[in-house]
Chains A and B, each alone.
Chain A
Amino acid sequence: MNGYSGQTLIVNLTKKTIETKPTDMELAKKYIGGIGLAMRLVYDYIEAGVDPLSPNNPLILATGPVGGTMWPTAGNGHVFAAKSPLTNTIGESKAHGFFGAELKRAGYDVVIILGKSDKPVYLWIDDDSVQLMDATFLWGKTPLETEERIKKELGDSNIRVASIGPAGEKLVRIAAIINEISRACGRCGMGTVMGSKNMKAIAVRGSGDVTIADVEGFLDFCKVFYERAKGPKTRKYRTLGTAENILTHNKIGSLPTRNFTNATFEGAEKVSGEYISERFVDNIVACGGCPMRCEHVAVVSDGAYKGSIARMEYESVWAFGPNCGIDNIEGVIKAIELCNVYGMDTISCGVIVGFAMDCFENKILTKKDTDGIELKFGNTEAMIKIIKMMGERTGLGDILAEGVKRAAEKIGKGSDKLANHIKGLEMTGYDVRGLKTAALGYAVSFRGADHNRHGAYGFDVGGQVNRFIVEKGRGVLVKKREDFYTIIDSFILCKFSRGLYQNDHEDAAKLYRILTGFDMTTEDMRKAGERISNYARIFNIREGFTRKDDTVPIKSMTTPVPEDCVAKGAVVKQKEIDFLLDEYYEIRGWTKEGVPTIEKLKELDMEEFIKVVKPKIAATPTGGSKRKSGR
């Protein structure tokens, strides 16, 4: 088979059974692969209302049709999908590196992991030979130690490993699944789901060929993209890396600082991409098959955090830097390294630390709660201690490990007003008070607070719209981006290469034809992108999510930007959210309550979900409450 390997692996940890079956190609064509196919398959293995940490939540690993090829920035990715223990929505998280290509060469499009093992295990996929291995000796080990020990036990240093760290074992809800030291399926607590199954890791060795339909066509198209990859669209990733965003956002007042209180940071210079590149970046490395190579590896060469090594990305640097009021970049590097050690999402972790600091500053938490730690903004040492406490679930860390939403519920005292999350997933580094298109993207993102589902900040930061107001047209912008981002994550391409797809779905459809040999028009591809977005919405609706969940954090709606800067006074108002949602739902062909209509489902060949939306539409016969709101 071309583009797909054609095989799906099903592992039942409760029954200790392993079987393969042909990949459902009808579903693969409709949902492409990657997050599309993986999220869709979750539906087939889960009932509504299942506890995400129970054995009844499937964990689904998938590659995509471009996997195992040298397509620029792609071919090396993999995704995990399951119901998220942070949000109870559909959860998905992808990573690049080398693991995905290895899995594809081993011959699998999808690996479905069901049930729960009675003792720690890891899955060993060696082409056609698949076994569950005892992982008792790996329990408590970091992802890096796990990877090294598995390679040693199996006697091959080229084996690829994706594993959880101590945080995943302890069911810290922000746990990640980490591959190749620094690559993480970080968001949505996929590592927590793996931990809940008593599963430590997946090790893969694949020796098979990856075949595609049109090799000559592939090479020609590949050359076009290699040239584009050397151009201006990828300059940032190739030079300073995403950390360049620190100063960009600081300048325009969209750099969330001190737990989203301020929108500029006086210490930005000292945690900027420029500063890091000049002083700390030891090397820039690539994922498999990528001509852009963006991984800026920073090393601390002396001082208190000597020897710390971590990959520098804007989100991670922002989360522990500006967001915690910290301008000590060495401490930030240490914090990121600790997340790789415990196996936690850097974004969620930084937002939770920022939240705890905000609580301390507001006397909601005192030294009694923090074991004597002076948990103030800007205190690097305190941040490091709290991260360790979270990774180990000790003291206050045990509460924080539940994620910011649940932690606020436990702490009480109005701390929910300081908890920056949407649907339970921690916010990312964009201050939506001064980025109103992004505010819509964040509000409707199906996995909770997330910039990677829409990239709508691009319109705001790039100046294509007036970012301080809401107006007609934002819904279209967000929808279009969302429906292409679902395609990017389903192939699986790297988001950093999104600018190379000048013709969005047209380029994607052509690539799909080259890879698979299947018919796929631009319109089909557009429909596939929209179908994946709608599917995710339907999953969430079945779990009880409604219009009221499509919002932004309370703090962004109650705290206008206080300091003197271009964004001073900016805030998101409820009527603005309502205005944005009304237009967005309408453009999506959804009801006023945000439920996909039966006509829309028919248009997208999704008739099997009519039974989910029908009762929701029937419940609001008028088509939802009337909202008349403007700017």
Chain B
Amino acid sequence: MVTTRKKFISADPKKCVGCQICEYVCALEKDKVFNPLKSRIRTVRLYPKNLALACRLCEDAPCGTACPRKAVEQAPETGVILIDDEKCDGCGWCIEACEFGAITLHPESKVVVCCDLCDGEPVCVEWCPEEALELTTTDVLAQKARISATKKLFQATVETKS
């Protein structure tokens, strides 16, 4: 039961405007530079829709399974992907394995990097001007979806009656 409460960063596609501020602050936090390429969270813009993507902390994370050198492992408690810079040689199998593009090769160090949730206080969530990002769990997301679906149903009933 513990695993379903793992916290990860989720972006609301209805709120995300593709501004890249999450990328800028992430690279600043981790690498102390202005360079979105070094961010652990990345934005995708399919005009006019936008979404920021970061690690989803999958069960039995495929990136970890794919790594031939045991350089990518998942912390059992938090589910965070831990990367051993010594073991990683940048082969990219984990990158291919991730369906979200959430793990990337660092342009300079040539080892992979992934969201580590900033020790539970992610700077991207703090800075997101649209409050599109949140540190959440699949449980909470499911609850929200249920509430929203129920509201829609009642809304529809009201409209049919009137």
Residues of A within 8 A of B (CB): 68-70, 75, 98, 105, 180-181, 207-212, 215, 219, 226, 229-230, 282-293, 295, 297, 299, 309
Contacts and interface: CB of A to CB of B under 8 A. Distances in A.
A293 B19 contact: yes
Interface stretch (B26-34, B54-62, B78-86, B138-146): B26-34
A289 B20 contact: yes
Contact of A285 (B18, B36, B38, B127): B18
B35 A285 contact: no
B67 interface: no
B96 interface: no
A207 B35 CA distance: 8
A180 B34 CA distance: 21
Nearest to A230: B129
B137 interface: no
Contacts of B36: 288
Contacts of A293: 17, 19, 129-130
- With a 10 A CB-CB cut-off, give which of A209, A215, A295 has the most chain B CB atoms: A209
A212 B21 CA distance: 17
27 contacts: A69-B24, A69-B34, A70-B20, A70-B24, A98-B20, A105-B37, A207-B35, A207-B37, A209-B34, A215-B28, A215-B32, A226-B129, A229-B129, A282-B48, A283-B48, A284-B17, A285-B45, A285-B50, A286-B18, A287-B19, A288-B19, A289-B21, A289-B24, A291-B19, A291-B129, A297-B47, A299-B48
Given A70-B25, A291-B129, A293-B130, A210 B20 contact: no
A290 B22 CA distance: 11
A297 B18 CA distance: 13
Contact of B107 (A207, A219, A285, A297): A207
A589 B49 CA distance: 51
Contacts of A290: 19, 21
A68 B107 CA distance: 17
Given A285-B48, A293-B130, A211 B18 contact: no
A211, A219, A285, A297 interface centre (most CB from chain B within 10 Å): A285
A286 B48 contact: no
Q: Counting chain A CB atoms within 10 Å of each CB, which of B31, B38, B127 scores highest?
A: B127
B47 A181 contact: yes
B19 A289 contact: yes
B80 to A, nearest CB: 25
Nearest to A98: B20
A183 to B, nearest CB: 11
Contacts of A295: 48
A297 B48 contact: yes
A283 B16 CA distance: 10
Given A181-B47, A215-B28, A283-B48, A291 B21 contact: yes
A70 B17 CA distance: 15
Size category of the B interface is 20 to 34
Contacts of B47: 180-181, 285, 297
A292 B130 CA distance: 9
A256 B93 CA distance: 61
A75 B36 CA distance: 12
A283 B33 contact: no
Contact of A210 (B34, B49, B107): B34
B60 to A, nearest CB: 30
Question: Nearest 9 pairs between A and B by C-beta?
Answer: A291-B129, A286-B19, A70-B24, A209-B33, A297-B48, A286-B17, A210-B34, A283-B48, A293-B17
A309 B21 CA distance: 26
Interface string B101-136: 000000100000000000000000001011000000
B36 to A, nearest CB: 8
B26 to A, nearest CB: 11
Nearest to A295: B48
A289 B32 CA distance: 16
A5 to B, nearest CB: 12
Given A210-B34, A299-B48, 9 more contacts: A70-B24, A70-B28, A209-B31, A210-B35, A211-B34, A226-B129, A285-B45, A293-B17, A309-B48
Contacts of B19: 286-291, 293
A143 to B, nearest CB: 13
Contacts of A292: 129
Most buried by A among B25, B31, B48, B127: B48
Contacts of B50: 283, 285-286
B40 to A, nearest CB: 16
A75 to B, nearest CB: 8
Contact of B35 (A98, A209, A283): A209
Nearest to A311: B48
Most chain B CB within 10 A, of A181, A211, A284, A286, is at A286
A250 B36 CA distance: 43
Contacts of B25: 70
Contacts of A212: 34
B99 to A, nearest CB: 18
Contacts of A75: 34
B124 to A, nearest CB: 12
Nearest to B25: A70
Contact of A68 (B31, B34, B38): B34
Given A282-B48, A297-B47, A211 B33 contact: yes
A180 B18 CA distance: 13
B132 to A, nearest CB: 11
A601 to B, nearest CB: 37
Given A70-B24, A291-B21, A283 B34 contact: no
B35 A105 contact: yes
A493 to B, nearest CB: 16
Nearest to A104: B34
B48 A210 contact: no
A69 B25 CA distance: 10
A556 to B, nearest CB: 37
A288 B20 contact: yes
Nearest to B37: A207
A181 B46 CA distance: 11
Contacts of B38: 209
A491 to B, nearest CB: 15
